[in-house]
């Protein structure tokens, strides 16, 4: 496995980061998770747009141009001879001193890791996941806009810990007002009477690339789509619930907090959206 580290390709054993790196000391940095489908880097541009927007928002200078970054992604995939897999792109503030001042970090570090991906088994897409709502809240309002895909993932990790304790694959996070925000690393959608709903990002959700693709597909396929806040009551009483994310794609939910959703398996609109999503993943991106 070859890891891209600041312009060089090094082995996994040599891919090391300083203990003074502010990504490590303070979670000061940003990242992207990107899929490769049959050699195609899916929605590469959208991921890079989000990365560079996150960087701008936290005043982090990425030492690569957009084109150089894209070339680095392509080269990492090529070197690792991957046709299908997952890319983790991390830009940290880089090594500094123990103070939190980012001015003490002269250069951001860029790391690209590409590897195989362990995803849900295919039957999970037909049967749906069991899910729960959890107590950690998306901090809104907060200085850290949920659109920034930062290295501060403790909230999401607390969600994942509760999901693990309950033995479920993904859990639902609310915001401070009690509106449904997202999962630990997925966006959430519900379907009621043929209308598809997802929370607007200001409720406290990342502007997911998969979410964006599903919103577009709803338009193409003629499913009415509304971005509006909703509560757990709306989730419990929905006809269909599903999560979207780079790793999970479009995964149905069959039960939330003990309430069976719809027929207790992947519903027709979820299934249709997954089918159509899988048609675009090999073409919509960079080869």
- Residue from 107, 149, 160, 220 carrying the catalytic annotation: 149
| Minimum distance, C-beta of residue 165 to ligand PLP, in the bound complex (Å) | 19
Report the first-to-last Cα separation within the chain, whole angstroms.
20
The residue (of 19 and 118) whose beta carbon lies closer to ligand PLP is 118
The single residue listed with the structure tokens 């195989």 is 116
Which residues in this chain contact ligand PLP in the complex, by CB under 6 A?
Answer: 33, 156, 182, 185-187, 206, 208-211, 244-246
Tell me how far, at minimum, the Cβ of 19 lies from ligand PLP, in Å.
25
SS3 92: strand
Q: How far is the CB of 131 from ligand PLP (least distance, A)?
A: 14
Alpha carbons within 13 A on the beta-carbon side of 127: 8
| Smallest separation (angstroms) from ligand PLP to the CB of 30 | 11
**Which residue carries 């991106």 as its tokens?**
285
**Closer to ligand PLP by Cβ: residue 28 or 249:** 249
CA distance 276 to 48: 24
- Is there a contact between 239 and 125 (Cβ–Cβ < 8 Å)? no
User: Least Å distance between CB 210 and ligand PLP?
Assistant: 3
Pick 105 or 173: Cβ nearer ligand PLP: 173
Which residue's C-beta sits nearest to ligand PLP?
208
Where b means 16+ CB within 10 Å and e means fewer, 57-87 reads ebebebebeeeebbebbbebbeebebeebbb
Query: Residue 130 or 213: which CB sits closer to ligand PLP?
Result: 213
φ, ψ (nearest 5 deg) of residue 148: -80, 120
- Identify which of 186, 206, 190 has the alpha carbon closest to the alpha carbon of residue 249: 186
Nearer to ligand PLP, 5 or 247 (CB): 247
Instruction: Give the C-alpha separation, 260 to 78, whole Å.
Output: 44
Task: Identify whether the C-beta of residue 227 lies closer than 8 Å to the C-beta of residue 199.
Answer: yes
Q: Quick one: DSSP state of residue 202?
A: G
The answer to whether the beta carbons of residues 172 and 183 sit under 8 Å apart is: yes
Catalytic status, residue 56 = no
Identity of the residue, 210 or 270, whose beta carbon is nearer to ligand PLP in the bound complex: 210
Closest distance of CB 206 from ligand PLP, Å:
4
Any idea which residues carry the catalytic annotation? 149
């Amino acid at each position: 496995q070859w890891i891209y580290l600041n312009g060089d390709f090094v082995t996994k054993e040599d891919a090391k980061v300083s203990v003074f790196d502010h990504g490590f000391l303070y979670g000061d940095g940003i990242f992207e998770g990107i899929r490769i489908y049959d050699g195609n880097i899916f929605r590469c541009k959208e991921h890079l747009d989000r990365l560079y927007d996150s960087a701008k928002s936290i005043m982090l200078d990425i030492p690569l141009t957009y084109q150089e970054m894209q070339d680095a992604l392509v080269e990492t995939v090529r070197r690792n001879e991957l046709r299908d897999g997952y890319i983790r792109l991390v830009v940290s503030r880089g090594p500094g001193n123990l103070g939190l001042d980012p001015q003490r970090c002269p250069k951001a570090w860029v790391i690209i890791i590409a590897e195989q991906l362990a995803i849900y088994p295919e039957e999970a897409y037909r049967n749906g996941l069991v899910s729960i709502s959890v107590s950690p809240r998306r901090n809104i309002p907060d200085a850290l806009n949920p659109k920034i895909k930062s290295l501060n993932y403790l909230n999401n990790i607390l969600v994942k810990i509760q999901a693990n304790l309950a033995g479920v694959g993904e859990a639902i996070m609310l915001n401070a007002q009690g509106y449904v925000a997202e999962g630990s690393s997925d966006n959430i959608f519900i379907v009621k009477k043929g209308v598809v709903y997802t929370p607007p990002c200001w409720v406290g959700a990342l502007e997911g690339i998969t979410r964006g693709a599903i919103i577009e597909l709803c338009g193409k396929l003629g499913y009415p789509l509304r971005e509006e806040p909703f509560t757990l009551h709306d989730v419990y009483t929905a006809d269909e619930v599903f999560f979207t994310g780079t790793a999970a794609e479009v995964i149905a939910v069959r039960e939330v907090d003990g309430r069976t959703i719809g027929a207790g398996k992947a519903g027709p609109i979820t299934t249709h959206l997954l089918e159509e999503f899988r048609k675009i993943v090999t073409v919509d991106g960079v080869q």
